Amino acid sequence: MDSRDFDFRRVAQGYKKRPFLHKQVMERFQKEVTNQIFSHGLDVGCGAGLSSKALKRICRHVTGADISPEMIRVAGEVCEDAQGYEFIVSRAEEIPAAGEKYDIVTAAGVIQWVEQAAFLQNLQKIMKEQGYVLIYDFCISDRMKGAGNAAYTAWWHDRYLREFPKPYRNEKVWTREDVEPYGFSMLGQVQYEMEYEFDLDSFIEFMMIQSNVNAKIEKGGKDTGEVREWFTQSLEPVFGGERKTLMFKGYSWYLVTV
């Protein structure tokens, strides 16, 4: 057992407590694309299972797939009291076909890490005709709703991002030309904002699993205790003992097999 093993467990447990904004994304999909109930859905990069729970709201059976065995274990815990789930360990580009092809696929916070061509080629093999793909992600922003916004925004840029710089991630926006060669049509792409209320402790726990924070912990720059203490000391003046509503930025891309 090494430090990375421990960190995978820490992050997986943290993902269980992430804001369940996935539900709002699914409601938007039903409003803007289709309100049908699907038969067999696939959740690519399911993480700790919150995105699978959201997909299950519009799908009778959900298969969640993730490259991390620890994430799959935690996803099973998150969804253990409900029927209609299956979880498998697999790379996004190699997810096997089920007995029944998938009529909807979701991918939350995943496409930054996939090999685009291999991913789309595999989806085409395992999906039904006229099947839908919902690619989405959301992230915390530098904005707080109401009183305290200026202090929070200043903390975000002047302290947080200086202490924990963003690691590289592929943020390419897929276009119609990117997906059509693989048998998909781009129905639409939307951006939006969402809100979530935190107290200081829950916000710190949420920030502890951000990718730039994890990067610094994994590289040995700081241990988790030091990081948590840094957040506590720097954020106490911002929260002032109150609950605060933070703004999230999100996007959704809607694809369909043709």
CA atoms within 13 A on the CB side of 188: 9
pLDDT at 170: 85
Phi, psi for 125 (deg, rounded to 5): -75, -35
pLDDT along the chain (258 residues), means of 10: 49 81 97 96 96 96 95 91 92 91 96 95 96 97 95 98 88 95 98 97 94 84 88 97 97 97
From the number of C-beta atoms within 10 Å of its C-beta (0-12, 13-18, 19+), residue 175 rates as: exposed
- Give CA–CA dist 141/216, Å, rounded: 20
Beta strands at 102-108 and 127-144: parallel, antiparallel or unpaired: parallel
DSSP string, 170-191: --PPP-HHHHGGGTEEEEEEEE
pLDDT at 7: 57
* pLDDT tens, position by position, 132-165: 999 999 999 999 999 899 999 999 999 999 999 9
pLDDT at 222: 77
Give bridge partners of residue 140 from the DSSP assignment.
Answer: 248
From the number of C-beta atoms within 10 Å of its C-beta (0-12, 13-18, 19+), residue 237 rates as: exposed
Task: Return the CATH fold of 3-257.
Answer: Rossmann fold (3.40.50)
What does the domain layout of the chain look like in residue ranges?
3-257
